Amino acid sequence: MAYTETTSTSYGQRLAGSAKGMIGGLLMFIIGTCLLWWNEGRTVRTAKAIGDAASHVESVADVSRVDASLNGKLIHASAFADTKDTLTDDMFGVRELAIRLDRKVEYYQWVENAQTKEREKIGGGKETTTTYTYEKKWVDKPVNSAEFKDPQYQSANKVLSEVEERNEMAQHVTFGAYTLPESFVASISGSEPVEVRMTEEQRFTWNERLHMLRPKVDTETSLVHTSANTVYLGLSPNSPQVGDVRVTFTKVPPADISLIAQVDGSTFKVYRAKNGQSFSRVQMGTVGADEMIEQARSENNMLTWVLRLVGVLLIVIGLKGMFGLLPMLFKVLPFLGSIVDAGVGLVSWILGLAWSFIIIAIAWLVFRPIIGISLLVLAIAGIVFLKRRGKKNEEKQPA
């Protein structure tokens, strides 16, 4: 059953909120501008570092022995990332020879969903109606139901037992005769399920603990269930109750990887390019040096466009916030306020895009002067051409 809450905001309160929004809008505008500028510089620096790495990388076919002549060089190699470390989770009796062992925990809880509708009122006020609905679902942390709006649900949640999530990584991972540093090990992916095999003693310990937390359940009834890579704490995995806990285990096993990194004795480190930028790559499987370099370039380009989009959105939203007081002045008549609001939105987009292009263009003049100047010359030439063409058309028109 839904719970509804209705609030009213006066015209004066909305004006004050718009005035505060102007400050927030200005901050977003500044942050977006700085992001666009920084991103263009980052893009060029990263591209140069990738180019530097591409010109210095040396492919090594065999890393089965430590080669002193490679020390300090940037190399590309493919080999089996292996480990002899056995990773353990004593709480649930999991033991695996793996590069990484992960424990993920979920709780069956009531969660609150809110849907808001706003209605403009003549005179500039606003009425907000929020409808709260509740559903049970698996979440990654316990939900505090005391903060729910509906009093009937404020004591709905409980947890049978809180279990911490856990990630353990092998300390010694080899790559042929070399040892991989921790940062490189963390880049190895390819998770797969781990079968859980709890001992009778572990089951008894868990059942004893859980029955103390849920005393109404018959002590002969097991509250611990295992299936494949999952431990279920509760009465029945097929009929979950609020408070039940689900724990799943995955591992990253030894696997073939490819890397580009600087040799540092019997291990590796991040390569430092001439411009001071760092570069290294770890990818799953056997991947050639050229392909890894190309993927690095592709990722750099993708990140560039994502950050450009974020920067433009921040600038546009910031401008809309800065101009927010203007439509609010017309909210006394809702239909008029909506028209002005739409106009402000359109102007914010036009000005935001224009400002973004200007910032990117200036950044290109600084960070990519040759390309930036070339584009500037083309733009000026285009403007001059259009003006001259316009004058010729005017001269041809009969008086």
- Whether residue 1 is predicted with pLDDT greater than 90 in this model: the reply is no
- Whether residue 241 is predicted with pLDDT greater than 60 in this model: the reply is yes
pLDDT at 375: 63
CA-to-CA distance for 181 and 75, rounded, in angstroms?
A: 15
- Whether residue 397 is predicted with pLDDT greater than 70 in this model: the reply is no
pLDDT at 394: 60
| Residue 164, CA atoms < 13 Å, CB-side half-sphere | 6
Q: Which of 92-101, 119-128, 133-142, 269-278 has the lowest mean pLDDT?
A: 119-128
| Mean pLDDT value across residues 302-313 | 96
What tens digit of pLDDT does each residue of 154-171 get?
999 999 999 999 999 999
The backbone torsions φ and ψ at residue 170, rounded to the nearest 5 degrees and listed phi first, read -65, 140
| Mean pLDDT value across residues 30-36 | 96
- Whether residue 383 is predicted with pLDDT greater than 90 in this model: the reply is no
Which strand (E) or helix (H) includes residue 127?
A: strand 126-139
- Whether residue 216 is predicted with pLDDT greater than 80 in this model: the reply is no
| Mean pLDDT value across residues 329-341 | 81
Q: Could you tell me what percent of the chain has a pLDDT over 70?
A: 94
- Whether residue 174 is predicted with pLDDT greater than 80 in this model: the reply is yes
Q: Which of 10-14, 107-111, 357-361 has the lowest mean pLDDT?
A: 10-14
pLDDT at 110: 96
- Check residue 139 and report its DSSP letter: E
| Mean pLDDT value across residues 368-376 | 74
CA-to-CA distance for 154 and 143, rounded, in angstroms?
A: 11
CA-to-CA distance for 367 and 38, rounded, in angstroms?
A: 10
pLDDT at 367: 84
What's the Rg (C-alpha) of the chain?
Answer: 31
The answer to whether the predicted template modeling score (pTM) of the entire model surpasses 0.85 is no
Closest residue by Cα to residue 92 from 164, 227, 196: 196
pLDDT at 332: 78
Between the alpha carbon of residue 229 and those of residues 89, 161, 205, 283, the distances in Å are 13, 19, 20, 26
- Whether residue 312 is predicted with pLDDT greater than 60 in this model: the reply is yes
CB atoms closer than 10 angstroms to residue 250: 17
- Whether residue 329 is predicted with pLDDT greater than 70 in this model: the reply is yes
- The answer to whether 312 touches 356, Cβ cutoff 8 Å, is yes
Of the pLDDT bands very low, low, confident and very high (cuts 50, 70, 90), residue 376 is low
| Mean pLDDT value across residues 256-264 | 96
Of residues 98 and 383, which shows the higher confidence score? 98
Between the alpha carbon of residue 11 and those of residues 59, 122, 320, 332, 371, the distances in Å are 69, 10, 19, 8, 51
CB atoms closer than 10 angstroms to residue 287: 19
Task: Provide the H-helix boundaries in 323-333.
Answer: 325-329
Q: Scan for tokens 């606003």, then name that residue.
A: 126
Of the pLDDT bands very low, low, confident and very high (cuts 50, 70, 90), residue 35 is very high
Of residues 368 and 392, which shows the higher confidence score? 368
- Whether residue 390 is predicted with pLDDT greater than 70 in this model: the reply is no
Of the pLDDT bands very low, low, confident and very high (cuts 50, 70, 90), residue 62 is very high
| Mean pLDDT value across residues 122-145 | 91
pLDDT at 7: 84
pLDDT at 393: 59
- The answer to whether 105 touches 245, Cβ cutoff 8 Å, is yes
Alpha carbon distance, N-terminus to C-terminus of the chain = 77
Of the pLDDT bands very low, low, confident and very high (cuts 50, 70, 90), residue 336 is confident
- Whether residue 399 is predicted with pLDDT greater than 60 in this model: the reply is no
Q: Could you tell me what percent of the chain has a pLDDT over 90?
A: 65
Return the amino acid letter for 94.
V
Pair of tokens at residue 193: 């399920």
- Whether residue 391 is predicted with pLDDT greater than 80 in this model: the reply is no
